[in-house]
Structure 1
């Protein structure tokens, strides 16, 4: 059994004059990152490995999850291939995960993440929102065999807010 945690980066800011890769989170993104990561870390087991896109907004989001899950530095890495919007590079990353790890978390971007959640999961999601977190489970022993699995969890910021 393999378990994949996927989180889309939190809400980013467009007010800075920087290239897309360098865009930071905005205030709402920081609040959502804290809210969702704390809920998820309280309710689900920590991943054995975390891999984040190296874009600032994804990496900042990933650090919220890393800290709340208490993932060791040695089990946290970035991969530029997750800075992908179509999904092919993300699928390559998933299919090449270490088979010694049964639970891995990746942090990245749309449209790739919505497409992959829908392609691999059992529940359709119209749009994986910023800081949306999804757990997919696969009845396999080898990550290279990933195909349709089961969507077991969806945690979106709006699920945790009382407004």
Structure 2
């Protein structure tokens, strides 16, 4: 049986300094720096993603771009999906349970509170808050995404852990 792995990445810190619609809000400089810090640290430490999916929101897509570049993941693996522009978690769960079983490892970029909810629903470690630029990796002992339930939290990494 092939296990499934989910790499969940919350978008980096966004800026509220612009009169922009929620979808269009850009990253703050701190967010850009944190995304580079976390993704550079993770080089060679993450399972290789078969597919990458991002919310269409500017802040999620920009975070995704930084991660793809620093992790040397080809942009051809990226799909932008409205399903990840979700703040509660139901849309993310539905998206994951409908994922193509040809993908063993999926990396997703999106938003809170959805990502904290999903990390706690499926992971084995309680997480109070998946911070901006935070990464959670969960492994599932199943050969189909539609059957995912409680998995094992393999990694949690937040920017503050790298700034000590």
- Could you tell me which residue of structure 2 aligns to residue 101 of structure 1? 103
Superposed, which structure 2 residues align to 1:5-20 within 5 Å?
Answer: 5-20=7-22
Inter-partner Cα distance in structure 2 for 1:123 and 1:73: 31
Superposed, which structure 2 residues align to 1:11-160 within 5 Å?
Answer: 11-160=13-162
SS in 1 for 2:139: strand
TM-score for the superposition, normalised by structure 2:
0.96
Q: Which runs of 5+ in 2 are unaligned?
A: none
- 1:103-124 per-residue CA deviation (whole Å, 9 max, x = no partner) reads 1100000000000100100000
User: Which 4+ stretches in 1 moved above 3 angstroms?
Assistant: none
Inter-partner Cα distance in structure 2 for 1:44 and 1:29: 21
- Could you tell me which residue of structure 2 aligns to residue 4 of structure 1? 6
How far residue 73 of structure 1 moved from its aligned partner, in angstroms, is 2.3
Aligned Cα RMSD in Å?
A: 0.8
Q: Which runs of 5+ in 1 are unaligned?
A: none
Q: Please say if residues 36 and 157 of structure 1, whose CA atoms lie closer than 8 Å, have aligned partners that are also in contact.
A: yes
SS in 2 for 1:107: strand
Inter-partner Cα distance in structure 2 for 1:70 and 1:49: 13
